[in-house]
Amino acid sequence: MTTEEKIRILGDAINEGEKDKAVELLKDWSVQSGFKEIIFTVLEPMLIEWGKLWMQGKLSLAHGYLSGKVAEEFYMIASQSEEMLVADKKVKGTIVLGNIEDDFHPLGRRLVHIFAKSAGWNIIDLGNDVPAEIFIENAIKNQAGIIAVSAMMFTTAKNILKIRNELDSQLLSDKIKLAVGGAVFKLRPELVADVGGDGTADNAIDAPALFDSLISKVK
Amino acid sequence: MNSLERVLATIPGIETDYQPFTMLLSLYGASLLKTSAKEYYRNPELWFEGQKAVVDNFDPDILITPFSFPIEAEAFGCELLFFDKYAPNSKKPVITDLSQIKDLTTPDFEKSLPIRFFLKSTTLLANQYGKTKAIASPIHAPSDIPALLMGMEMWIDTLFFHHDKVKEMMEKTTEQFVKLGNELIERGATFLVVPVNFTTAMIITDRIFEMLLPYLEKAFSQIKGPIVIHNGGSKLLPFIDRFAKLPNVIAFVLEPSESFNEARKIIGDNMVLMGNFDGPGFANLTQEKAIEKTLKILNDRKNDKHFIFATSNADIPYETPVETIKAVVHTIRDFKKY
């Protein structure tokens, strides 16, 4: 079976809502080719392709959710394999990720988690409804160069400004960059500056490129 | 022709004296009164005063009863956050575990504060304007409400993996939809406006949509009046053919980037199309740009007798200059449609 065929079969399984079947397929192929090979040539290219299709409006958020679940489960299985323990790729840095205080819309954050992890970032995911001081505390503790914050609504996005103010008041703005994202930033691009963000990405698939750019500015 | 006649004429496609229009100025009433949205969304009399100010300033053909997804969810127990210049938001999901669905109760209309707000506001608006203007009552689709009660991710997960829980949840939201929808019509709504923020191809797969359709069919068939499907910020066209076949559906409010011509190719020439000026984007427009966008839509629909100019997506922001909205209204009024 060619790599293209594997990508198509995997996509078909996810499209049909068959999460367990998709994970089993990946596991079976990994027995033959190794986890690393399947992650790099099948799973990640499929995620990238689906991300592009989602951006074009050809796939739904539910497709993204299910592909993320498949990836999450398979990464977990792969991470426990001997092959991945010795062949772990170089970590680019640490990102503290979460939904801002009062925000309970985790889907975008979870997709960013998947794509950033695939791209080689160590992710500390704090979950939903995270106050500014918890972001700062975890970034310092884990020596993160980036805090990445998600918000879906205008009213919750404004809480991100508290992180900016904390970073500034603790003189951390050169050491920790603030990435912001979520549906509201696409509708109102001026919000990125209003909440003190150092940058944003239009979607989860573009998030790793944003992180690469931001980490290069850390002093 | 009064506003009501003008709006109703678009259903059979009768020529009107000028282009009928509406705008989502639910929140903006608070801005016109220079009052805080906190009190505005709790006090039906104050909300009604805001809508009277909307009529005095802009005189739209369709008036819209309170539009708030979170307040609808509050009726099921969601806690809200209130703001001075924004519509309320839900604080956190009320369901965090699927086992809690069985304990979810539909609201008691006599006692529920949010339901009483919707109903009293509708009564006040309909009593004052119901004979001369169309009254539209927003009520979210029964398939959308769970996304706010449990969060979008959990609802998507439930739809993929827990079909028994989907049935349990949809039975409760359908019961509420039918009861509230019919009560709004009873109190004077000309039609219901049903936003489908969640139930669109941007959010769910085709298979999930097919699973939800029988629930929507059952819910819509019990409504004693016409239904307008509203984009809710998502694109309608991928599913519009199937929405169009649902009972009582007579019209669609398209999302700003969607093409009326494309919609016509799918659903034909006879259903009413509305839209598609971006409501939330209003605040960032100069008067010139707002007029340009308005004329673009009006010229696109110049020969369409089944068309109502409307803002799409969510509310027009509180801080939008009155002059910008008036510039759009004057452009519509002055437009020679026929």
User: Do the Cβ atoms of B84 and B37 come closer than 8 Å?
Assistant: yes
Interval A149-208: pLDDT, tens:
999 878 789 899 999 999 999 999 999 999 999 878 877 888 999 999 999 998 777 899
Does residue A193 belong to the interface with chain B, where contact is any CB pair within 8 Å?
Answer: no
Give the percent of chain B with pLDDT over 90. Answer: 93
pLDDT at A104 over 90: no
Domain locations in chain A?
3-87, 93-215
Vertex A29 angle, CA A11 and A90, to 5°: 90
A32: closest CA of chain B, how far (Å): 30
Compare B35 and A109 and report the one with higher pLDDT. Answer: B35
A145: closest CA of chain B, how far (Å): 28
Two structure tokens written together for B52? 């009277």
**What is the predicted pLDDT for the residue at A55?**
73
Mean pLDDT over residues A54-65, rounded?
Answer: 85
Partner-chain residue, chosen from B151, B204, B205, that has the shortest CB–CB distance to A104: B151
Nearest CA in chain B to A56: B202
Statement: A3-87 belongs to CATH 1.10.1240.10:
yes
**What is the predicted pLDDT for the residue at A84?**
64
Count CB pairs under 8 A between chains A and B. Answer: 62
pLDDT at B293 over 60: yes
**What is the predicted pLDDT for the residue at A3?**
93
Rounded distance, CA A112 to CA A51, Å? 11
pLDDT at A85 over 70: no
Mean pLDDT over residues A4-25, rounded?
Answer: 94
DSSP annotation of B23 reads: -
**What is the CATH architecture of B3-334?**
Alpha-Beta Barrel (3.20)
Give the percent of chain B with pLDDT over 70. Answer: 100
From residue B286, alpha-carbon distances to A102, B24, B282 in Å are: 33, 19, 9
Two structure tokens written together for B232? 């809710």
Q: Which residues of B220-239 are buried (b: 16+ CB within 10 A; e: fewer)?
A: bebbebbbbbbbbbbbbbbb
Interval B196-244: pLDDT, tens:
999 999 999 999 999 999 999 999 999 999 999 999 989 999 999 999 9
Q: Note if the pTM is more than 0.95.
A: no
Mean pLDDT over residues B3-21, rounded?
Answer: 96
Partner-chain residue, chosen from B86, B159, B207, that has the shortest CB–CB distance to A155: B86
pLDDT at A87 over 60: no
Partner-chain residue, chosen from B205, B280, B284, that has the shortest CB–CB distance to A62: B205
Length of chain B: 338
Interval B124-183: pLDDT, tens:
999 999 999 999 999 999 999 999 899 888 999 999 999 999 999 999 999 999 999 999
User: Do the Cβ atoms of B10 and B139 come closer than 8 Å?
Assistant: no
Compare B37 and A82 and report the one with higher pLDDT. Answer: B37
pLDDT at A86 over 70: no
What DSSP assignment string belongs to B264-328? HHHH-SSSEEEEEEESGGGGG--HHHHHHHHHHHHHHTTT-TTEEEEEESSPPPTTS-HHHHHHH
Rounded distance, CA B66 to CA A9, Å? 47
Say whether B203 and A155 touch across the interface (CB within 8 A): no
β partners of residue B322: none
Number of DSSP helices (H) and strands (E) in chain B, helices first = 14, 10
Q: pLDDT confidence of A89, banded at 50, 70, 90?
A: low
Mutate to test the interface with B, among A54, A55, A60 (most CBs of B within 10 A): A60
In terms of Cα–Cα distance, which of B198, B220, B85 is closest to B147?
Answer: B198
Say whether A62 and B159 touch across the interface (CB within 8 A): yes
What are the strands of the beta sheet with A199-200, ordered from one edge? A121-125, A93-99, A146-150, A177-181, A199-200
Q: pLDDT confidence of B288, banded at 50, 70, 90?
A: very high
Say whether A61 and B159 touch across the interface (CB within 8 A): no
Mean pLDDT over residues A142-149, rounded?
Answer: 97
What fold is seen in the domain A93-215? Rossmann fold (3.40.50)
Two structure tokens written together for A173? 């703005």
Say whether A156 and B152 touch across the interface (CB within 8 A): no
A38: closest CA of chain B, how far (Å): 25
Q: pLDDT confidence of A121, banded at 50, 70, 90?
A: very high
Least confident of A182-196, B286-300, B310-324: A182-196
Rounded distance, CA A4 to CA A12, Å? 12
Partner-chain residue, chosen from B156, B202, B284, that has the shortest CB–CB distance to A65: B156
Write down the mean pLDDT value for chain B.
96
Least confident of A153-157, A176-180, B24-28, B69-73: A153-157
B172: closest CA of chain A, how far (Å): 23
**What is the predicted pLDDT for the residue at B196?**
95
**What is the predicted pLDDT for the residue at A202?**
81
Interval B92-107: pLDDT, tens:
889 999 999 999 999 9
Two structure tokens written together for B195? 């936003």
DSSP annotation of A199 reads: E
For B154, the 3-state DSSP assignment is helix
Compute chain B's Rg from CA coordinates.
19
**What is the predicted pLDDT for the residue at B320?**
97
Domain locations in chain B?
3-334
